[in-house]
Amino acid sequence: MTRVSTRDREFEEFVRAAWPRLRRAAYLLSHDTHEAEDLVQTALTRSYARWGVVRREGAYSYVHRALVNAYVDSTRRRRPVPVERVAERVGTTDHTVEDRSELLDLLAPLTPRERSILVWRYYLDAPEKDVAERLGVAPGTVRSTASRALARARADRTDQERDPR
């Protein structure tokens, strides 16, 4: 019989609690169910390797950073996901399908960097300073990128409302 260490037990509890939120964040970044699962697993694998030094009160932030880094790494190795694949849906208990569908449609035309900043800033509710630190950019870059991305998303939405094909 193997004994499970306290560290392993804590990590397992964290994964059970964080999995749905991490998966939704990964899906918003990647727009692909399978890639989202892979991103979360990559982030958790990277985090587990350092779990002994991760402060428990900062665990979500640490793993979210690993998630975004895994996403950024994956975009460097391949071409962007075609917008047509956005139609795939993921069910959750705390968001309606209509809300997610609308959100995915708004994020679809944005660049990976714009999506990362908007997901971190507004979906994960991270402060501007933290987003800048996590993504390795200046806080002004976060503000300007978020502003441009939101303006683009609003303009695309207005265009779609005028001409719903």
Distance CA(131)–CA(88), nearest Å, equals 28
Distances (CA, A) of 8 to 61, 123, 128: 19, 29, 32
pLDDT digits (tens, 9 = 90+) for 107-136: 878 888 888 888 888 777 788 888 888 888
**pLDDT over 90, % of the chain:** 21
pLDDT, residue 115, reads: 85
Q: Residues 78-92: what's their mean pLDDT?
A: 36
Residue 83 main-chain phi, psi, to 5 deg: -60, -30
Kindly give the interhelix angle for 97-107 and 6-30, rounded to the nearest 10 degrees: 70
End-to-end CA distance of the chain: 61
pLDDT of residue 41: 93
Name the pTM for this structure. 0.52
Least confident of 6-10, 98-102, 110-114: 98-102
Evaluate the CA torsion angle 29, 34, 37, 38 in order and state its sign. Answer: negative
Looking at residue 37, what is its pLDDT? 92
64 near 120, Cβ under 8 Å?
yes
When pLDDT is cut at 50, 70 and 90, the band that residue 76 belongs to is low
Q: Does residue 161 register a pLDDT over 90?
A: no
pLDDT at 4: 65
* pLDDT over threshold 70, residue 79: no
pLDDT above 50 for 45? yes
Give the per-residue pLDDT at 164.
55
pLDDT of residue 44: 93
